[in-house]
Every structure is written in structure tokens, then in C-alpha cells.
Amino acid sequence: MAQTLDAQTRQRIQTWLDGQYDEATKQVIRDLLEADNVTELTDAFYKDLEFGTGGLRGVIGVGSNKMNRYTVGAATQGLANYLNQCFPGQPIQVAIAHDSRNMSPEFARITADVFSANGIRVFLFKELRPTPELSFAIRHLGCQSGVVITASHNPREYNGYKAYWTDGSQVVAPHDKNVVAEVNKIKSVADIHFQGNPDLITLIGEEVDAEYLKTITANCVNPVVIKRQHDLKIVYTPIHGTGITLVPTALERIGFTNVHIVQEQATPDGNFPTVVYPNPEEQEAMTLAMQQAQAIDADLVIATDPDADRVGAAVKNQAGEWQLLNGNQMASLIIYYLLQAWKDAGKLSGKEFVAKTVVTTEVIDAMCAAYGVPCHNTLTGFKYIAQVIRELEGKGQFIAGGEESYGYLIGDAVRDKDAVASCAMIAELTAYAKDKGLSLIDFLTEMYMRHGFYYEGLVSITKKGKSGAEEIQQMMADLRGNLPATVDGAKPIAVLDYQNLTRKDLRSGEVTPIPMGMGIERSNVIQLILDDGTKVSARPSGTEPKIKFYISVHAHLEKPADFNNTLAKLKDKVTAVQRDLGLL
């Protein structure tokens, strides 16, 4: 074995065998050594599980590179140390929630114990709850920080740990890097205070649910329409996750009386037995819901991921077939509906604003411009949208925001993407469309006819390991240094480089700064603008060994009958752009 494991991996293994780790953990390591399981040992110990700017995410198991009581404990100890530095001599409070994944309740309790052992008061949800409710609870309870145990929509073997700050958003600069630095200082299990103080841990649940649900009912803009369309036939699945705790109640509270839950997926279960991936972006995860919708001739299908921060939706198209709406389509529909509803209600005073990410559909920018509402574009990640809300607090009113990866936020009571509130709003806008005799596809068509038919394509390229990371960096360097003369016959006219925070006009050569703040900081993102309006964005993933290329194209849609033909042409253009850039 000594000849097959590198020195650093062997050292980490020995540290765990010699250290203050529990006997069951040590026995697992001994068994792997006895079985000569080099692959498993290497995966478990070749590095420390990285606490990134969003927290932890990894496979559950024994080892320095896995999610277990020790890696969770170290993350919490580092965060506790930082909180005590930031708020010296002050009473500090944190809120903790968890999803339905395996080991989530145990990791949540370990997190609570470590915080309390460091003199920090803990509000611990006694049962699983959605991530957006954790965000709400931080502000509602006056906490300085919070943690949710979740791996979002990752496969069943994963779990994770997301850290939040005082405003209920995930940590941003400078706190993100400062927390990472404190976590990295934890070099020994002896540095972690595992012995909790029960007097500092308060269990919470229904009382916070009630306040959170009030904010969702307050988002409702057309209660009269909902009353007329209360029997809208909705099929909902939580995909074995936390959404079951609040989504049906939220729909009921705003007035919907005909909600059908997919019973095979209604029970929270970290093994996610009915799906390959518990991700509403995947059609496979929504198959049971769409089958049920077909059987009962439903109006809408909605599905939430395990921690209920993302939502997917499916509707009937003109041919009567069920199809998924993508994240760009749903984000734009929500904002289209709200802008019109706020205008009709006389609520657009000139102080309202919308926020989205730089890779999310530009039809939202076009709509906001038409309604005279500023649309703030941020880096990818809802923490940046939350940063815009925080910076404009007291100066403007946030209507809604969204990102292409199925995350949306209505109102500012929560500071992270919120599938519970989004399910309620999607149901409401579907009722509004039906009240006008429209399907959601008709409603989408109406939006495109008014503001332009935008279509987006995504290419995600995986490059694993050290060599893969180097390849990704080289791809970004090539983009910066070797711009194509044309792309599908169109000339590049501008380059936005967020790493340098510059915008270069390729026709005049003028370089102007991209202002920092308002959801913008230095980041390895490049955007290429072509003279036909096409936009190409390149961004290495912050959590996976991937580089993503986003292509946005648009056209004019004259009449509903042209929808399918125009969509086909836009898809062909995206394919041509991808091929010209060597992405296919």
C-alpha cells in the first residue's frame, strides 16, 4: 500500500488513524487499508474537502475529502471563529436548517452543537425545511449568520453546507474569503468544539413557517383572478424533498383548491428512489408528474428540488403535449406578469427595480426598459442579486429577480432563490393567463411578440482533474487573446471582460471600466457581443470541473402562427454559433 498512495495521501490517512477521531471512523479506514482499496482511499484522502465561497459540497463518507462530522465540524468552527471576530462582545445568533438528504439531520445537529459550544445562540429547525425559509429566518430572528445542510440537486451520494450572512444571503466579499481563511486554519480535530451547550439551542418550526407564509401571500397581485380560477388543476412534486413541507400550504393559502401531489415522490427520502437526479431541470425527474398531469388533464405541473430553492414547470403546448419550460422562459414569464400587474395596479412609481444575472435572457432587459424599470445585471449566483437588493434597500423596491438555472425570487423577504414563493407565483400567473383564455405557451408568445423572441443555448464542457483545470484556463486565455473575426457571419463589436472589469468597443478601440459593486466584482467571465445582437458568454463553473458557454440570439415575432418557425430558426442559429466557435 505504501507504494501505491502518494505521500500526502498517506500522511492524511495516518493523521486520521492517530488523531482524536471516533473508533468507527478509524475502523472504516483500517478496513479499506486491509482490502487494499487504493481508489477509495485516494478519493477520500488525496485532499481536504474545500470550503469554497459558498460552503462545502461532497460525497458523504469517511475521509478529509468527504462530507462527515469532522469536515462539517471544521467548517462550523471556522465560521464560529469568524463570527466571534466580527461581533466581539455582542450576543451572536445563527439559524440552521436542513433538507431531506441522508445525514442532513445529523450534520445540522453537529453544526448546532459546534456553534453553541462557541457561545453562539442557535435557532435550529426541528425538522427539514426549504432553503429559502432559512434565508427568511435569519432576518426574521435577527441572526448574524445561518447554515443550511443541503447539496441542492446533486445525486443522492452528496451532501453540502451553505453559509449565510446577516441579510439572509449567502456570504459575499469580503466575508466569503475571510470565512474560507478561518476554516483553513482548522488543522486538527482537537481545534473543533463538538460538545454543544443545550441551553443555547432553541428548536423552531411552525411559528417561523407562519411568518414566512405571510410574505408569500403578500406577493399575490391578482387575488380576484385566483378566486375565479381557484380550481386551476395543478400537479406538484417535491421530488422527495423539503418542498412538501410548505408548497402545498402556500398554494392553499393564496386560494388554489385543486392541487394534486405526486404521491410516489411526496415522502422526503435522501435516496431519491424514483429519479436518477433529483433535479427539476431534468425531464426524467418530472416524468411521474407529467404522466399524472396527462391522466387528469391538468393545467400546470410544478416540481421543486430537494432544498426547494429551484422550481421546474411543465405546460401543454399547442399540440396538447406536455413540455418543460426552461429557466429563462419561466424567469421572463414571472417578470412579464409582475411588471404588467404592477403597472395595472398603479404601483410603478419609478423606484422599482428587477435583478438578474449576466447570462440570463435579455428579454428581461427589454421588458424592463419598456416599463421604465431598471434591470440590474449581476454575476452568476443569487448572492449577487441579494447584494443588489441590500445596496438599494430603502432607496428602491425590488419586484423580482431570476437566473437561467431555474432560480427565481419574488419580493425581498427572502434573499436567495425561493421555489416556494415561485410555485405560488407561477400558479397565479397561469391562472391569470387562463382567465384571459390563454395557455402559458400563448402567454409566452404574447411576451415575445411585444418584447422580442429571445432564445438561449448552453454548452457545458467537463474537464476533470488538474489537467482539466489547466485546459479550462487555456480556453479562457485563448478567448481573451484570439477573438474570432466573425461568428456565423457576424462581426464581434464589443468584449466585456469581468476579470479585468473592462468593456472594449472593437470598432473604436475605446476601453471603459465596468463598475464594481451592485452584484459585480472581478470574475473569470467573458462576454462577446456581435453586430447582429448575438451574445456569447464564457464562464468556468465555480463548483464543478466545467466551463460553460451561453449563446443568446433573438428575432422579431410578428404573429403567434410564426412561433414554431421562428424558434426553429433561432435554434439553428445557436447551433451555427456553437459550431463556429468549435463547441460542437
pLDDT for res 254: 98
Cell of 553: 440570439
Boundary (domain end) residue, out of 401, 432, 451: 451
CA–CA distances in Å: residue 500 to residues 213, 493, 522, 523, 529: 43, 18, 7, 8, 17
Q: Does the pLDDT of residue 358 top 60, yes or no?
A: yes
Between the CA atoms of 165, 170, 174 and 178, what dihedral angle is there, to the nearest 10 degrees?
A: 80
Mean pLDDT across 285-310: 97
Of the listed ranges 40-44, 108-112, 406-410, the least confidently predicted one is 40-44
40: in domain:
no
Q: Are residues 339 and 288 in the same domain?
A: yes
Boundary (domain end) residue, out of 415, 435, 451: 451
Q: Which residue has the higher pLDDT, 469 or 125?
A: 125
Question: Can you tell me the distance from the alpha carbon of 339 to that of 352, in angstroms, rounded to the nearest whole number?
Answer: 10
249: in domain:
yes
Cβ neighbourhood burial of 352 (10 Å; 0-12, 13-18, 19+): buried
491: in domain:
yes
pLDDT for res 544: 65
Q: Which residues pair with 492 in a beta bridge?
A: 530
Question: Can you tell me the distance from the alpha carbon of 409 to that of 419, in angstroms, rounded to the nearest whole number?
Answer: 8
pLDDT in tens, 527-552: 999 999 999 999 997 666 789 999 99
Question: Can you tell me the distance from the alpha carbon of 38 to that of 11, in angstroms, rounded to the nearest whole number?
Answer: 14
Q: Determine how many CB atoms are found less than 10 A away from the CB of residue 130.
A: 35
232-241 core/surface letters (b: 16 or more CB in 10 A; e: else): bebbbbbbbb
pLDDT in tens, 410-443: 999 999 999 999 999 999 999 999 999 999 999 9
Q: Does the pLDDT of residue 37 top 70, yes or no?
A: yes
Whether 83 and 163 have beta carbons less than 8 Å apart is answered as: no
Q: The whole model's pTM is what?
A: 0.95
CATH of the domain at 62: 3.40.120.10
Q: Determine how many CB atoms are found less than 10 A away from the CB of residue 253.
A: 15
Three-state SS sequence of 66-130: CECHHHHHHHHHHHHHHHHHHCCCCCCEEEEEECCCCCHHHHHHHHHHHHHHCCCEEEEECCCCC
Task: Taking each helix axis as running N to C, give the angle between helix 363-371 and helix 327-344, from 0 to 180 degrees, rounded to the nearest 10.
Answer: 10
Give 50's pLDDT tier (boundaries 50, 70, 90).
confident
The one-letter amino acid code at 339 reads L
Between the CA atoms of 403, 407, 410 and 414, what dihedral angle is there, to the nearest 10 degrees?
A: -110
Q: Which residues pair with 153 in a beta bridge?
A: none
Question: Can you tell me the distance from the alpha carbon of 367 to that of 349, in angstroms, rounded to the nearest whole number?
Answer: 16
pLDDT in tens, 96-144: 999 999 999 999 999 999 999 999 999 999 999 999 999 999 999 999 9
Q: Are residues 166 and 254 in the same domain?
A: no
Angle at 160 between CA 155 and CA 162, to 5 degrees: 135
64-76 core/surface letters (b: 16 or more CB in 10 A; e: else): bbbbbbbbbbbbb
Mean pLDDT across 38-67: 91
Question: Can you tell me the distance from the alpha carbon of 583 to that of 532, in angstroms, rounded to the nearest whole number?
Answer: 20
Question: Can you tell me the distance from the alpha carbon of 397 to that of 445, in angstroms, rounded to the nearest whole number?
Answer: 28
Give 2's pLDDT tier (boundaries 50, 70, 90).
very low
Q: Are residues 245 and 387 in the same domain?
A: yes
Q: Determine how many CB atoms are found less than 10 A away from the CB of residue 257.
A: 11
Cell of 463: 474537464
Q: Are residues 59 and 186 in the same domain?
A: yes
Whether 457 and 575 have beta carbons less than 8 Å apart is answered as: yes
Cell of 31: 478496513
Question: Can you tell me the distance from the alpha carbon of 529 to that of 316, in angstroms, rounded to the nearest whole number?
Answer: 34
Q: Which residue has the higher pLDDT, 300 or 174?
A: 300
CA–CA distances in Å: residue 301 to residues 99, 274, 325, 358, 429: 22, 17, 10, 28, 13
7: in domain:
no
Q: Which of 96, 112, 104, 109 is CA-nearest to residue 154?
A: 104
SS3 475: helix
Give 466's pLDDT tier (boundaries 50, 70, 90).
low
Question: Can you tell me the distance from the alpha carbon of 284 to that of 395, in angstroms, rounded to the nearest whole number?
Answer: 44
- Grid cell 424558434 in the structure block, residue: 567
Q: Are residues 433 and 372 in the same domain?
A: yes
Cβ neighbourhood burial of 512 (10 Å; 0-12, 13-18, 19+): exposed
Question: Can you tell me the distance from the alpha carbon of 305 to that of 416, in angstroms, rounded to the nearest whole number?
Answer: 14
Q: Phi and psi at residue 12, in whole multiples of 5°?
A: -65, -40
Cell of 147: 447554515
Q: Are residues 343 and 393 in the same domain?
A: yes
Q: Are residues 382 and 459 in the same domain?
A: no
pLDDT for res 3: 52
Boundary (domain end) residue, out of 150, 171, 204: 204
| Mean pLDDT estimate for the chain | 95
Question: Can you tell me the distance from the alpha carbon of 247 to that of 245, in angstroms, rounded to the nearest whole number?
Answer: 6
29: in domain:
no
Q: Which residues are catalytic?
A: 152
22: in domain:
no
Q: Are residues 415 and 457 in the same domain?
A: no
pLDDT for res 1: 44
33: in domain:
no
Q: Does the pLDDT of residue 4 top 90, yes or no?
A: no
Q: Are residues 546 and 426 in the same domain?
A: no
pLDDT in tens, 215-244: 999 999 999 999 999 999 999 999 999 999
pLDDT for res 250: 98
Strand 145-149 and strand 93-98: the pairing is parallel
The alpha carbon dihedral of 410, 414, 415, 418 has a sign of negative
Q: Are residues 182 and 321 in the same domain?
A: no
23: in domain:
no
Q: Are residues 438 and 289 in the same domain?
A: yes
pLDDT in tens, 320-337: 899 999 999 999 999 999
Mean pLDDT across 84-94: 96
Cell of 104: 442532513
Cβ neighbourhood burial of 7 (10 Å; 0-12, 13-18, 19+): exposed
**Domain count for the chain:** 3
Q: Which residues pair with 316 in a beta bridge?
A: 322
Length of the chain (residues)? 584
pLDDT in tens, 441-460: 999 999 999 999 999 999 99
CATH of the domain at 496: 3.30.310
Q: In what order do the strands lie in the sheet with 397-403?
A: 375-378, 352-357, 397-403, 407-410
The alpha carbon dihedral of 435, 244, 72, 34 has a sign of negative
Q: Are residues 393 and 518 in the same domain?
A: no
Q: Range of 295's domain? A: 211-451
